[in-house]
Structure 1
Amino acid sequence: MFTDTRAYSGIAVRDLAAARQFYGEVLGLRTSEDHGNLWLHLAGGRDTFVYEQPTATPASYTVLNFEVDDVGAAVGELTARGVRFQRYDGIEQDEHGVVRGQGPDIAWFTDPSGNVLSVIAADA
């Protein structure tokens, strides 16, 4: 039924202006607005819809994974831009919050609404 139907993901955020600044300026993604909502234009034509919902509960699971060649370098650059990386009990992470040697290198962080994002090794 939906074989040839265009589909896209959506992320609820509490503050669209904060999301626009974070995704566009901090992460450096191409963005656009449509009818008061935000679109993230991701590589490979995988656009993601971002809409404001002031009472939204942040996703506690990873909603976007950004594939990078060097997770450590990406963590360093994002840290310099003010991004703080998550720490999880029971998961061994290095001093920068990167999980290594348990599958692809990965580190998690959140957007201003608390939705979980990651940088993950591209060879995943």
Structure 2
Amino acid sequence: MHQIPAIGSILLASTNPESLRAWYERAFDVKADADGFLRLGEVGLLIDGRDDVAVTAAEPARVIINLHVTDAQETARRLGSLGVNWVADLEYREDAGAWFGTVLDPDGNYLQIIELTAAYWVARRERAGLRAAGSLLDAAVSTRLPAQDLDRARRFYAEKLGLEPAETRPGGLRYQCRSGSFSVFESTGEPSGGHTQMAWKVDDVEAVVAELRGRGVEFEDIDVPGLRTVNGIVEVAGNYPSSGGTGERGAWFRDSEGNVHGIGQTVSN
């Protein structure tokens, strides 16, 4: 039976392999194993000396090493601290659902950084014809918030948040925003109040907090390790890569029924 061969490793030839190997170790926080391989995923990278190559790659685009990472922006910052030259700046490509960026290593080889986001995997499933007719991938998402007193909730959303329902029905109110919708429904249940139940993404969190405070909304004070409010707003480290940000500024309040709302603004360097 014919067996398909597997790529076991990639060899980078260099006139100064020790220096090039040390750069890769610093760049990606990895150490060469006993055989000299840098284990970057399933395929090892071997950097070895040869006397039949030039000091720098003559045609670096002929063979490009693609490194898949979980956080392209953090990887870009790490590489930037090493003073790399970017052939193509890190960017999010909507059509691919992935982050791409290409740098030169010290020998002039092209090294492409790739982060595949959830959008990529959704598109990949579609290309492969794997989406089932009943898949939740095709569903629209909407938040539901419980209210023990629907009339009280409606007054709160109108007077404090400046929102009127786009539709009503017995036991329910539906609100339509710039992007997406949410509903408040009559329920005898109580929210836990221990976590964010609905998040609002805004362009200017300070302006929104000031506006809502003027309407009488009270914001939560938080003081835990790594998270502390200043004038009702916290600085949150990290963000989802597809947001284009490196962090977030946030604030939290409770509605009349005890549901916790979070307001977030994407922060980028």
Q: Which category describes the TM-score, using the shorter chain as reference length?
A: 0.7 to 0.9
Q: CA deviation at 1:14?
A: 1.7
Structure 1: runs of 5+ lacking an equivalent: none
Structure 2: runs of 5+ lacking an equivalent: 1-133, 238-246
Q: Which residue of 1 aligns with 2:158?
A: 24
Q: CA deviation at 1:122?
A: 4.7
Return the TM-score normalized by structure 2.
Answer: 0.41
> Is 2:241 aligned against 1:97?
no
Moved over 6 A (4+): none
- Aligned-partner Cα distance in 2 for 1:111–1:65: 13
Matched to 1:13, the amino acid is A
Larger-Rg structure: 2
Q: CA deviation at 1:64?
A: 1.7
Deviations, residues 61-93 of structure 1 (Å, cap 9, x unaligned): 212222222111111111111000001230211
Three-state SS of the structure 2 residue aligned to 1:85 is: coil
How many equivalent residue pairs? 122
Counterpart selection for 1:33 from 168, 182, 202: 168
Alignment identity in percent? 32
Q: Which residue of 1 aligns with 2:257?
A: 113
Q: CA deviation at 1:7?
A: 4.3
Deviations, residues 34-75 of structure 1 (Å, cap 9, x unaligned): 12311111222x221211113423442212222222111111
Q: Which residue of 2 aligns with 1:50?
A: 184
Instruction: Assess if the C-alpha contact under 8 Å between 2:249 and 2:267 holds in 1.
Output: no
Matched to 1:93, the amino acid is T
Matches within 5 A, 1:39-78: 39-44=174-179, 46-78=180-212
Instruction: Assess if the C-alpha contact under 8 Å between 2:250 and 2:265 holds in 1.
Output: yes
Three-state SS of the structure 2 residue aligned to 1:87 is: coil
Deviations, residues 8-56 of structure 1 (Å, cap 9, x unaligned): 2211112111211122332122412112311111222x22121111342
Q: Which residue of 2 aligns with 1:84?
A: 218
Matched to 2:174, the amino acid is W
Q: Aligned-residue CA RMSD in angstroms?
A: 2.1
